[in-house]
Amino acid sequence: MKRNNAAAVLISSLVMWFVTADAQDLKWKTIRPGGQEFTVEMPGLPTREGRIIPVEKDIQLVPEVYDLVTGNVRYQIMSFGHKSRVSTQQDFSLFVERFQRALVASNDRAHNFITFEKDLKSSTGAVRQLQLKVDNHNGLVRLYDGEHYFYAVMVIGGGENDSTVSRFLNSFKVSKFNTQFPDRSTGDTLQSHDPQEPWSGELPETVVPFNAGVLNGKATELPFPKYPIEARQSRASGQVAVRVLIDEQGKVISAEAIAGPDLLREPATKAAWKARFIQTRLRGETVKISGVLVYNFVYGP
């Protein structure tokens, strides 16, 4: 995919398709996806899929996107994994810079822009708020720095003074890593739009693997990790989350512990490599999936 087209895809993904609806008829849902560390209220069930967003040559952002269009407004949450185990202020600043560049990269429409508005505070730290204008639709985005992820919470077609938008924005909380499974808080299929969203059939062959959340319930083989002597001696216990990538045959091809006591991360990762899964089909084809395996270590004499 050419860079200009890919950037246009990103901008197009933010454009509104207006539908008549009464805000009072919205059915609010609490969204807390497995394998993520946020909670939010949305006026409906969002879809979930991977995206590839070009920033510049050889630099891409690869978010997992939770997307909902209802009434005049588009609601989106983009989740970007940290490259380091714990992010620094410098990492977050670089993410903010790249996010802004991605929105305007190779964009031929001069009336699209993104500008800084203000910094907010939350229980987890500073939040950067930016103003957007996309195809003559105003909006805003709040950028958060979580423990394992950066988050972009975005609204197109509404502002803070709108009660529905305000509820969505103010309900977003960076929370503890969610190990719930199965995860039924989001949909697995693309939303139907008229016209159809242009990115749905134009992702390159290196398409982002579908994120299936917490995968314990999908495993056909799930060996339990050994309890290390050092961990037993120090009475270490708790929950370890291991992020895995699974190929089309159900074999683990990547595993990395992303949360949990340090002494228990290595045995959990070794066990994750041995797990096996049923094949996953998306739109009729077997696909790679990513997700999280959760191991509970309980100390006992």
Read off the pLDDT of residues 52-67 as tens digits, 9 standing for 90 and up.
677 776 677 777 888 8
Share of the chain above pLDDT 70, in %: 72
**pLDDT band with cut points at 50, 70 and 90 for residue 189:** very low
- pLDDT greater than 70 at residue 18: no
Q: Enumerate the β-bridge partners of residue 174.
A: 38
Please report the pLDDT score of residue 142 as a whole number.
Answer: 94
Q: Tell me the C-alpha distance between 137 and 212, whole Å.
A: 32
By DSSP bridging, strand 281-282 and strand 125-134 are unpaired
Q: Enumerate the β-bridge partners of residue 50.
A: 64
The more confidently predicted of residues 264 and 3 is 264
Give the tokens for residue 37.
């560390």
Q: Poorest-confidence range of 12-21, 151-160, 265-274?
A: 12-21
Q: Are 215 and 277 in contact (CB under 8 A)?
A: yes
**pLDDT band with cut points at 50, 70 and 90 for residue 196:** very low
- pLDDT greater than 60 at residue 103: yes
Q: What is the mean pLDDT of residues 22-36?
A: 73
**pLDDT band with cut points at 50, 70 and 90 for residue 194:** very low
User: What order of strands is seen across the sheet that includes strand 173-174?
Assistant: 29-31, 38-42, 173-174
Please report the pLDDT score of residue 135 as a whole number.
Answer: 67
What is the architecture, at CATH level 2, of domain 3-195? 3-Layer(aba) Sandwich (3.40)
Q: Poorest-confidence range of 3-17, 78-92, 95-109, 227-241?
A: 3-17
Of 244, 239, 241, nearest to 273 by C-alpha is 244
Q: What is the mean pLDDT of residues 266-276?
A: 94
CATH of 210-297, one of 3.40.50.10470, 3.20.10.10, 3.30.2420.10, 3.40.50.450: 3.30.2420.10
Q: Give residue limits of the domains in the chain.
A: 3-195, 210-297
Please report the pLDDT score of residue 162 as a whole number.
Answer: 87
Residue with tokens 């879809």: 47
Q: Are 198 and 12 in contact (CB under 8 A)?
A: yes
The more confidently predicted of residues 268 and 206 is 268
Q: Tell me the C-alpha distance between 193 and 209, whole Å.
A: 23
Give the best-scoring range by mean pLDDT among 19-23, 97-101, 253-257.
253-257
Q: Classify the C-alpha dihedral 166-43-202-197 as positive or negative.
A: negative
Q: Poorest-confidence range of 120-124, 163-167, 236-240, 247-251?
A: 120-124
Per-residue 3-state assignment (H helix, E strand, C coil) for the chain? CCHHHHHHHHHHHHCCCCCCCCHHHCCCEEECCCCCCEEEEECCCCEEEECCEEEECCEEECCEEEEEEECCEEEEEEEEECCCCCCCHHHHHHHHHHHHHHHHCCCCCCCCEEEEEEEEEECCEEEEEEEEEECCEEEEEEEEECCCEEEEEEEECCCCCCHHHHHHHHHCEECCCCCCCCCCCCECCCCCCCCCCHHHHCCCCCCCCEEEEECHHHEEECCCCCCCHHHHHCCCCEEEEEEEEECCCCEEEEEEEEECCHHHHHHHHHHHHCCEECCCEECCEECCEEEEEEEEECCCC
Phi and psi torsions of 8, nearest 5°: -65, -35
The more confidently predicted of residues 166 and 17 is 166
Read off the pLDDT of residues 68-89 as tens digits, 9 standing for 90 and up.
888 778 899 988 876 555 557 7
How much is the pTM?
0.65
Q: What is the mean pLDDT of residues 32-37?
A: 83
Give the best-scoring range by mean pLDDT among 24-28, 82-86, 198-202, 204-208.
24-28
Average pLDDT value for the chain: 75
- First-to-last CA distance in the chain? 58
Exposed / middle / buried, residue 294 (Cβ in 10 Å: 0-12, 13-18, 19+)? buried
Q: Poorest-confidence range of 28-32, 62-66, 201-205, 282-286?
A: 201-205
